[in-house]
Chains A and B, each alone.
Chain A
Amino acid sequence: MSVFIDKHTKLVIQGITGRDGSFHAKQMMEYGTQVVAGVTPGKGGQLFEGTVPIFNTVADAVQATGANTSVIYVPPPFAADAIMEAAAAGVSLVVCITEGVPVLDMTKVYPFVKERGVRLIGPNCPGLITPGESKVGIIPGRICTPGPVGVVSRSGTLTYEVVYQLTRAGIGQTTCVGIGGDPINGTNFIDCLAAFEKDPATKAIAMMGEIGGTDEQEAAEFIRTQMKKPVVGFIAGQTAPPGRRMGHAGAIISGSSGTAQEKLEAFAAAGMGIAKRPIDFVELIKARL
Chain B
Amino acid sequence: MNLHEYQAKEILRAHGVNIPPGRVATTPAEAEAIAQEYGVPVMVKAQVHAGGRGKAGGVKFCKTPAEAKEKATAILGMKIKELTVERVLVTVAADIGSEAYVGIIVDRATKKPVFMVSAAGGIDIEEVAASTPEKILYVPVDPRYGLPTYDAMRMGFFLYADVKLARGAAKIMQQLYAAFMASGCSLAEINPLVVTPAGELVAVDGKMVIDDNELDRRPEIAALRDERSEEPSEVDARNANLTFIKLDGNVGCVVNGAGLAMATMDLVKYYGGEPANFLDIGGSSNPEKVVNALRIITADPNVKAILFNIFGGITRTDDVANGIVTATKANPLKVPIVIRLTGTNEEIAMQILKDNGFSASSDMDTAVQQAVALAKGGK
B184 at the A interface (CB under 8 A): yes
From A28-36, A52-60, A247-255, A265-273, give the one contacting chain B: A247-255
The residues of A that contact B282 with a CB separation of less than 8 Å are: 99
Asked if A107 and B112 sit within 8 Å, CB to CB, the answer is yes
Which single residue of chain A is at the shortest CB-CB distance from B271? A277
A276 at the B interface (CB under 8 A): yes
Asked if B314 and A249 sit within 8 Å, CB to CB, the answer is no
Near A by CB (< 8 A), chain B positions 184-213 give 184-187, 209, 211, 213
A236 at the B interface (CB under 8 A): yes
Which single residue of chain B is at the shortest CB-CB distance from A127? B313
* Assembled-state Cα–Cα distance A247/B106 (Å): 10
Contact count band on B: 35 or more
* Assembled-state Cα–Cα distance A24/B312 (Å): 12
The residues of B that contact A244 with a CB separation of less than 8 Å are: 245, 278
B372 at the A interface (CB under 8 A): no
Mask: chain A, 237-264; 1 = CB below 8 Å from B; 0 = not:
1111100110111111111000000000
Asked if A161 and B263 sit within 8 Å, CB to CB, the answer is yes
Give min CB distance, B209 to chain A, whole Å. Answer: 8
A166 at the B interface (CB under 8 A): no
The residues of A that contact B259 with a CB separation of less than 8 Å are: 153-159, 181, 208, 210, 236
The residues of A that contact B138 with a CB separation of less than 8 Å are: 253
A138 at the B interface (CB under 8 A): yes
A76 at the B interface (CB under 8 A): yes
The residues of B that contact A228 with a CB separation of less than 8 Å are: none
B308 at the A interface (CB under 8 A): no
B42 at the A interface (CB under 8 A): no
Which single residue of chain A is at the shortest CB-CB distance from B212? A100
Across the interface, B181 reaches (CB within 8 A) one of A19, A23, A104, A277, namely A104
A77/B217 contact (C-beta < 8 A), A99-B283, A126-B313 known: yes
Asked if A253 and B311 sit within 8 Å, CB to CB, the answer is no
A198 at the B interface (CB under 8 A): no
* Assembled-state Cα–Cα distance A213/B186 (Å): 14
The residues of A that contact B275 with a CB separation of less than 8 Å are: 239
Asked if A255 and B133 sit within 8 Å, CB to CB, the answer is yes
A47 at the B interface (CB under 8 A): no
A227 at the B interface (CB under 8 A): no
Asked if A236 and B113 sit within 8 Å, CB to CB, the answer is no
The residues of B that contact A181 with a CB separation of less than 8 Å are: 258-259
Number of residues on chain A facing chain B (CB within 8 A) = 65
A97/B314 contact (C-beta < 8 A), A255-B133, A279-B365 known: yes
Mask: chain B, 115-129; 1 = CB below 8 Å from A; 0 = not:
010000000011001
Asked if A158 and B184 sit within 8 Å, CB to CB, the answer is no
Asked if A100 and B213 sit within 8 Å, CB to CB, the answer is yes
* Assembled-state Cα–Cα distance A245/B245 (Å): 9
Asked if B116 and A253 sit within 8 Å, CB to CB, the answer is yes
* Assembled-state Cα–Cα distance A256/B268 (Å): 27
Which single residue of chain A is at the shortest CB-CB distance from B269? A239
Asked if B270 and A254 sit within 8 Å, CB to CB, the answer is no
Asked if A102 and B313 sit within 8 Å, CB to CB, the answer is no
A254/B109 contact (C-beta < 8 A), A154-B259, A156-B257, A157-B259 known: yes
Asked if B266 and A164 sit within 8 Å, CB to CB, the answer is no
B142, B184, B283: which has the most chain A beta carbons within 10 Å?
Answer: B283
B334 at the A interface (CB under 8 A): no
A110 at the B interface (CB under 8 A): yes
* Assembled-state Cα–Cα distance A269/B133 (Å): 25
* Assembled-state Cα–Cα distance A248/B106 (Å): 10
Give min CB distance, A221 to chain B, whole Å. Answer: 13
Asked if A76 and B143 sit within 8 Å, CB to CB, the answer is no
Give min CB distance, A242 to chain B, whole Å. Answer: 12
Mask: chain B, 305-342; 1 = CB below 8 Å from A; 0 = not:
00000011111100000000000000000000000001
Give min CB distance, B96 to chain A, whole Å. Answer: 24
Asked if B143 and A104 sit within 8 Å, CB to CB, the answer is yes
Asked if B262 and A237 sit within 8 Å, CB to CB, the answer is yes
Across the interface, A24 reaches (CB within 8 A) one of B260, B263, B267, B314, namely B314
Asked if B343 and A143 sit within 8 Å, CB to CB, the answer is yes
A126, A140, A155, A252: which has the most chain B beta carbons within 10 Å?
Answer: A252
Residues of B whose CB lies within 8 Å of any CB of A are 105-109, 111-114, 116, 125-126, 129-130, 133, 138, 142-144, 181, 184-187, 209, 211, 213-214, 216-217, 245, 247, 255-260, 262-263, 265-270, 275, 278, 282-284, 311-316, 342-344, 364-365
* A-B contacts besides A240-B262, A279-B365, 19 pairs, CB < 8 Å: A20-B283, A104-B113, A104-B185, A107-B112, A107-B143, A111-B144, A156-B259, A157-B255, A157-B315, A161-B311, A210-B258, A239-B268, A245-B278, A247-B108, A253-B114, A253-B116, A253-B138, A255-B133, A279-B364
Q: Can you report 18 A-B residue pairs in the complex whose CB atoms are below 8 A from each other?
A: A23-B316, A104-B113, A104-B181, A106-B111, A110-B111, A156-B314, A157-B256, A184-B108, A213-B108, A234-B263, A238-B262, A238-B266, A239-B262, A240-B278, A241-B247, A244-B245, A250-B108, A279-B365
